[in-house]
């Protein structure tokens, strides 16, 4: 069911926030933006009697355990902020969301900070503006409310709403999709969301954009691109009930994951994310603490330029792909991957992501010292020694880098490869 509702009418409904939802994360900037937008709308509201300021869409799911309760699937951030505004303007205001137990410390902190932000914002405004806010919040602001009976339909609407217009982070869309697959497992949903929210959102974003999606494409000898909502099908997994042979294989493989292999949709997605964040931490600790890789770590920390950072990312992707496959840090293999990645920095006078993309996908170029589709090699290798014993070339014309700026790095790579003492 779709209907236009005033904020007052919407908040008269018995609303709840299901425990699988992310915490209230709006901060002061978003709150101030909303206050300023409403203040601008008040001018139009006063000019035209039929003016309505629309603040987006709210998706509700009719709670299956309580006939008169509706769970907020999408729109809780804006709605909670509007509740905070109404609470400030009217101390007697009451609604069901005020009785929700916000367990998350993140939510508690943001609610407190945003209420203070609202109070400070109004302290600099006239009483007349406060009265106008009360009026427009009562009957001048409306939302599109989509109400569905089935949770699957609610999440489908969530996907649809957030893959057009203002784009939601793709990993949040994946979170919603896989929670939908877990709708009959409420406790597992709660634990999955709790674990998900314990991670830094930027870490999850980088995991997909910098590492997993790049490796997935390069292993197929294809160029990668920015991971957006258009690519989330790559990580929707396969239903546990599927009769496909590869689905049965994926189920038997649980709890083991491989970057290039399918996984079972639902809880396994959250387990997979946790698994690869742990692997990245393992890699960082190994490079930091293992004296065999002391020189690699020193080189990585020696330069912060954009092209150099691309080479670092390429190396880390190669190590993650290798560690994912063989789960060891063989000294010779890691050093071979390092030399392979950083020889591109030596080969190119200017190193951009386009060059990284071509090199990693195995596209041949006579400017490259090594034309090796490394990710494909790793994926199809049977033993880790297949990578450790790869012939990585370091010899160039006149044994000089394309840019003399990298002469010291080139010498380090030659020493690492046994070409110089």
The pLDDT of residue 153 is: 57
Residues 261 and 147 in one domain: no
- Biggest CA-to-CA distance, the chain: 84
Query: pTM, whole model, 2 decimals?
Result: 0.72
Q: Domain of 342?
A: 204-416
The pLDDT of residue 230 is: 86
Residues 309 and 387 in one domain: yes
Is the peptide bond prior to 255 cis by the omega test (within 30 degrees of 0)?
yes
CB 342 within 8 A of CB 413: yes
The pLDDT of residue 158 is: 59
Residues 283 and 398 in one domain: yes
CA dihedral sign, ordered 108, 114, 117, 119:
negative
* Ordered mean pLDDT values, 10 residues apiece, the chain (421 residues): 87 87 87 93 84 85 78 89 95 93 89 96 93 90 82 58 56 84 80 83 93 97 93 91 84 83 92 96 96 96 94 98 97 97 96 96 95 97 97 91 94 87 53
CB 31 within 8 A of CB 114: yes
Q: Which of 108, 133, 162 is the last residue of a domain?
A: 162
DSSP state letters, 175-187: HHHHHHHTTT-HH
Residues 214 and 155 in one domain: no
The pLDDT of residue 255 is: 67
The pLDDT of residue 54 is: 87
Number of separate domains in the chain: 2
Sheet containing strand 2-6, strands side by side: 2-6, 141-148, 53-62, 70-74, 15-16
CB 177 within 8 A of CB 159: yes
Q: Which of 162, 186, 212 is the last residue of a domain?
A: 162
What would the two tokens of residue 151 be? 């949770």
The pLDDT of residue 166 is: 45
The pLDDT of residue 159 is: 57
> Does any domain span residue 93?
yes
**Of 275, 385, 290, which Cα lies nearest the Cα of 336?**
385
The pLDDT of residue 164 is: 45
> Does any domain span residue 167?
no
């Amino acid at each position: 069911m779709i209907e236009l509702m005033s904020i007052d009418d919407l908040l008269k409904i018995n609303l709840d926030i299901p425990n699988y939802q992310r915490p209230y994360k709006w901060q002061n900037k978003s709150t101030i933006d909303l206050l300023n937008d409403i203040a601008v709308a008040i001018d139009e509201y006063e000019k035209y009697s039929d003016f309505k300021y629309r603040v987006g869409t709210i998706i509700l799911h009719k709670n299956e355990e309580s006939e008169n309760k509706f769970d907020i699937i999408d729109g809780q951030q804006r709605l909670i902020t509007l509740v905070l505004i109404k609470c400030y303007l009217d101390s007697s205001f009451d609604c069901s969301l005020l009785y929700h137990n916000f367990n998350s410390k993140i939510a508690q902190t943001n609610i407190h900070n945003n209420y203070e932000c609202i109070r400070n914002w109004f302290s600099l405004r006239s009483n007349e503006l406060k009265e106008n806010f009360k009026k427009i919040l009562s009957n001048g602001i409306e939302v599109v409310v989509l109400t569905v009976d089935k949770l699957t339909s609610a999440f489908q609407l969530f996907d649809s709403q957030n893959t057009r217009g203002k784009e939601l982070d793709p990993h949040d869309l994946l979170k919603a999709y896989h929670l939908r697959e877990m709708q009959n497992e409420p406790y597992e949903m709660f634990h999955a969301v709790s674990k998900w929210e314990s991670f830094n959102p930027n870490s999850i974003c980088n995991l997909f954009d910098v590492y997993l999606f790049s490796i997935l494409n390069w292993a197929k000898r294809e160029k990668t691109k920015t991971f957006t909502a258009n690519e989330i099908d790559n990580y929707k997994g396969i239903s546990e009930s599927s009769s496909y042979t590869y689905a049965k294989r994926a189920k038997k493989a649980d709890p083991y994951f491989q970057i290039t292999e399918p996984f079972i949709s639902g809880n396994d997605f959250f387990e997979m994310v946790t698994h690869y964040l742990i692997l990245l931490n393992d890699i960082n600790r190994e490079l930091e603490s293992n004296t065999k890789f002391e020189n690699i770590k020193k080189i990585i920390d020696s330069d912060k330029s954009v092209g150099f950072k691309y080479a670092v990312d390429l190396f880390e992707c190669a190590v993650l792909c290798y560690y994912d496959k063989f789960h060891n840090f063989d000294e010779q293999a890691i050093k071979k991957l390092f030399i392979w990645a950083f020889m591109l920095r030596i080969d190119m006078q200017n190193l951009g992501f386009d060059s990284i993309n071509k090199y990693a996908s195995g596209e041949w170029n006579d400017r490259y010292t090594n034309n090796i589709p490394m990710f494909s090699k790793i994926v199809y290798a049977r033993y880790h020694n297949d990578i450790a014993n790869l012939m990585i070339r370091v010899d160039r014309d006149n044994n000089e880098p394309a840019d003399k700026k990298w002469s010291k790095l080139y010498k380090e790579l030659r020493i690492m490869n046994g070409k110089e003492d």
